[in-house]
Amino acid sequence: MKIILSNEALLWFKEEMEAESGDAIRFFARYGGSSSLHAGFSLGVTKEQPDEVAVEIVHDNVRYYIESRDKWYFIDHDLHVNVDPKLGELIYSYEKA
């Protein structure tokens, strides 16, 4: 299980979420919506400091992470984060690890 962020996604976090050095961005499973991994669940993202990290990656001193309590959502998959060039919104894809 890994987190892979495109350069466009890193820029999106800096511009849209005002991520700066020392911040932490959490990816989490939320009830509702839909994803290719789990019906009835979708991926959420928020800026908050971690509690119990399962996996993380650091870029420009910003931590991007998944908590241990959310790793069930990603099990056996890597999370790829990119930006839709037309909509300017984050897009997520999952690849077998």
Q: Sketch the domain layout of the chain as residue ranges.
A: 3-96
Distance CA 41, CA 39 (A): 6
Residue 75 is predicted with a pLDDT of 87
Walking along the chain (97 residues) 10 residues at a time, the average pLDDT comes out as: 97 97 96 73 93 97 97 92 95 91
pLDDT at 41: 79
pTM above 0.85, yes or no: yes
Q: What is the CATH number of domain 3-96?
A: 2.60.300.12
42 contacts: CB under 8 Å, gap ≥ 6:
29, 30, 32, 33, 34, 35
pLDDT computed for residue 32 by the predictor = 77
